[in-house]
Structure 1
Amino acid sequence: MTEEKINLSSSELASLWTSYMQNTMSVQFLSYLRETVEDKMISQLVQTACQISEDHIAKLKSIFQQEKIPIPKGFTAEDVNIHAPKVYTDIFMLTYIHHMAKAGMLSYSGFLSLSARKDIRKLFNKTLFATADLFEQSSEIQINKGVFVRSPVIPYPKEIDMVDDKSYFKGLNPFADKRALNAVEISHLHLNFFNNVVGLKLATSFAQMSPRKEVQKICIQGKDISEKHVELFAVTLINNGLQAPIDGDVSITNSTAEVFSDKLILFQLGMLTAAGSGNYATGAAASQRHDLIINYERLAMEVGQYAKDIGNLMVELGYLEQPPGTLDKETLAKNKEKH
């Protein structure tokens, strides 16, 4: 038996399914950006991003067909109006692609690490490298246009230092002095600040374009959560004598035209929320000051509840596509007894 004839493992099936859902969403989002972008350099970047997703989808479809697995519904041209007026500035498009390329590298490296079959590993490895190259291109364009947001610069250490007092971990007492942030903690605060800025702008744009009151409400809820988290991360940096990041022209227009389906809007919000939860968990694990850890855990709980609200609304509206799963053996047996 050749390796390609071995059935997919549950991890591989989950990775393929998730990747299909995310990339079919991305193609529809990027197809709209492609129609409204004006800057030539950014236009080429949008086209490259769209091509990566389209090529990946084609390979995923081929695997589903080869394995005789139903192709997920995902997202189609019905989920976007590419002729709608421009909603996002070109710089936001650039920022969005840069942001999603970072998230994509994390996703594809995770999918790759979960895969055993050679053809599946080859697929995710190829797309990982293509996404890393997209990140490089977006970084260069941001630097070229003067909109790359760098994390704060701190003095180089003069010598190796060891932690010699347990007070290094403290930070919960509001009346006691806190030690200065270390470079690892600063990097995660900066990352989460800017991730929330992107989420805030997206949620605002989605609230503008959705015709449904309940979808508008949950978009505004997401915007409010992101604003609060942005402020917390900014204050934490400023209180340590560091400059909070400046988001530049990460903007949206005043257009209220319907661009994306509510299904796509809610899926994208859910995807960003899941990524945010992961970033907060990583930030908490990497931080050594107790107040930072508590903040990340508190924010993660709020984001988790928001993710639940999104999921519940998707179920109510009939938008939540179910991933592949196992059969409930007990229910199967009971159904057999009835017959």
Structure 2
Amino acid sequence: MTTNKIDLTAAEIGVLWTSYLYDSMTLQVIRFMKEKVEDSEVESVINEALMIAKNHVQKIESLFTEESIPIPHGFSEKDVEKSAPDLFTDTFKLTYLVHTGRVGMIIQTSNLAVSARKDIRDYFQSCLERVIKLYQLSTDVALQKGLYLRRPYIPYPKQVSYILNNDYLSGINPFKKHRMLNAIEITHLSLNIETNQVGVMLSSAFMQTAQSEDVKNFMKRGKDISKKHIDILSDTLLKDDVQAPISPNHAVTDATTPVFSDKLMMFHMSLLTGAGTGNYATAAGASQRTDLIANYERMSVEVAQFAKSGADIMIKYRWLEEPPAPPNREQLGNNK
């Protein structure tokens, strides 16, 4: 008896292709961290992340080979100089892995949700389980070391309340006192501060080690935008007497020797900006005060413009791989 082979859908090809680029890039970053880490507890988290990235790259290569789909170029050991001086402190390495686990859970959940074929669903389920384990492990180590950024605390509610009028939604009018932030809004403000703090550190590291002036200038702009957004979000919390999360010493070193290829660093920043835009959209949707929504919209536009300039640089240097797409029927009809 023969069985008809089920082809991958466009969604499955797309998320596997994107995952390969992401994991092959992450693999090179973590390999460098593995070479330089000194803290044994942080090293245990790095080893877990390294195993996950290797597994994902190998699995997708195998899937694409079976389906006769070209394997993306992605990133390789040619994109990292492991003998270069360390660029990150061990505290930043740990924070980076907490952030990687957090972002990974969102990505793998989304990948699983758009997949239909059973082997692909099984694969992304296993990916999700692995990144959950990474997040739990990295968070436990960060908590033990006093390096985990806890969200702000508020007093426990004493009763259930209902919104009685539209004043609850107001916030833009400067002549009218707005209501206090609620717990959901505080959560998103804090999370976006943390994400931008990671952005400041990475863009600083990439700026001081980039070889192209275009890339250096792009990273400086990214650092300035992240710092500006941190100020906006922190000021919003402080106006309601809520303490903004403060990063511990997650600094990068003063090394200027090139570590990663400019291509890898630009791709990494494109991922950060994509995640940032998604975070702002989620925060705007979850917030009920109009001034918060307006701030997230303005910041999203700024990030989108920044991302566009990054894509322009990657196209200029031929670093941007084109995602899989269906054939252009009009060109085929014209024998082109």
Q: Smaller-chain TM-score range?
A: over 0.9
Helix, strand or coil at the partner of 2:35: helix
Number of equivalenced pairs:
335
Aligned to 1:223: 223
Gaps of 5+ in 1: none
The AA in structure 2 aligned to 1:72 is P
TM superposition shift of 1:335:
2.8
Aligned residues with identical type, % of pairs: 42
The AA in structure 2 aligned to 1:163 is I
The AA in structure 2 aligned to 1:32 is F
Give RMSD over aligned pairs: 0.9
Whole-Å Cα distance in 2 between the matches of residues 261 and 329 of structure 1?
37
Helix, strand or coil at the partner of 2:334: helix
TM superposition shift of 1:2:
4.5
Helix, strand or coil at the partner of 1:149: coil
Aligned to 2:209: 209
Aligned to 2:141: 141
Task: Kindly provide the CA deviation profile for residues 165-186 of structure 1, in whole angstroms up to 9, marking residues without a partner as x.
Answer: 1000000011211100000000
Whole-Å Cα distance in 2 between the matches of residues 184 and 94 of structure 1?
26
Aligned to 2:317: 317
Query: Is residue 2:98 matched to residue 1:98?
Result: yes
The AA in structure 1 aligned to 2:52 is I
Task: Kindly provide the CA deviation profile for residues 155-207 of structure 1, in whole angstroms up to 9, marking residues without a partner as x.
Answer: 11111000001000000011211100000000000000000000111001000
Helix, strand or coil at the partner of 1:335: coil
Aligned to 1:304: 304
Query: Is residue 2:250 matched to residue 1:282?
Result: no
Task: Kindly provide the CA deviation profile for residues 274-323 of structure 1, in whole angstroms up to 9, marking residues without a partner as x.
Answer: 00000000000000000000000110000001110000100000100111
Task: Kindly provide the CA deviation profile for residues 111-149 of structure 1, in whole angstroms up to 9, marking residues without a partner as x.
Answer: 000000000001110010010010000110011001111
The AA in structure 2 aligned to 1:238 is L
TM superposition shift of 1:327:
1.4
Aligned to 1:188: 188
TM superposition shift of 1:56:
1.1
TM superposition shift of 1:334:
2.0
Whole-Å Cα distance in 2 between the matches of residues 153 and 255 of structure 1?
37
Query: Is residue 2:230 matched to residue 1:238?
Result: no
Aligned to 2:161: 161
Alignment of 1:1-339 (within 5 A): 2=3, 5-335=5-335
Task: Kindly provide the CA deviation profile for residues 41-80 of structure 1, in whole angstroms up to 9, marking residues without a partner as x.
Answer: 0011111101101011111111001001111100000000
Helix, strand or coil at the partner of 1:276: helix
Helix, strand or coil at the partner of 2:73: coil
Whole-Å Cα distance in 2 between the matches of residues 2 and 279 of structure 1?
43
Whole-Å Cα distance in 1 between the matches of residues 279 and 191 of structure 2?
8
Helix, strand or coil at the partner of 1:178: coil
The AA in structure 1 aligned to 2:299 is L
Whole-Å Cα distance in 2 between the matches of residues 180 and 119 of structure 1?
48
TM superposition shift of 1:328:
1.4
The AA in structure 2 aligned to 1:49 is A
Whole-Å Cα distance in 2 between the matches of residues 45 and 257 of structure 1?
26
TM superposition outliers: structure 1 runs of 4+ over 4 Å: none
Task: Kindly provide the CA deviation profile for residues 98-117 of structure 1, in whole angstroms up to 9, marking residues without a partner as x.
Answer: 00110000000000000000
TM superposition shift of 1:331:
1.9
The AA in structure 2 aligned to 1:69 is I
With the length of structure 1 as denominator, give the TM-score of the two structures: 0.98
